[in-house]
Structure 1
Amino acid sequence: MFSARITTLEQQVVDLELKIQDRDDDLAAARAANRKLMAQLNRRRDAPPHGG
């Protein structure tokens, strides 16, 4: 009885760890995209005006 409950809880822990890893991966991708966009905006802001 207890070993079945332990097995169920262990599986839940594994599932939650996988979800956390997925969210960490998504967050890292979002941060990378944000850095890229901010760099593009900064380059445009610092670029000399066209036709000048």
Structure 2
Amino acid sequence: MSELATAIDNLADEDPAELPLAALTEQLVELHWQMARLQAQIARRTHVRHSSN
């Protein structure tokens, strides 16, 4: 989890206004993809926790 927090901190340190449009677009696509993956893992863990009670 600390790697995830570090990755988010690194993103927070960037100024998106300084990125070229192509790089910003690429980052946005990748961030949405990674967010969907993270949400899937949250849902998976929520389901396991809910099912075991």
TM range (shorter): 0.5 to 0.7
TM-score by length of 2: 0.61
User: 2:23: which partner in 1?
Assistant: 8
Q: Structure 2: state its 5+ residue gaps.
A: 1-19
User: 1:50: which partner in 2?
Assistant: none
The higher relative CO (CA closer than 8 Å, separation ≥ 6) is in: 2
TM-score by length of 1: 0.62
Aligned partner of 2:52 among 34, 37, 40? 37
* AA at the equivalent of 1:36: S
Larger Rg: 1
* AA at the equivalent of 1:35: H
Q: RMSD of the alignment, in Å?
A: 0.6
Q: Structure 1: state its 5+ residue gaps.
A: 39-52
Q: Which runs of 4+ in 1 moved over 3 A?
A: none
Deviation at 1:6, TM superposition (A): 0.3
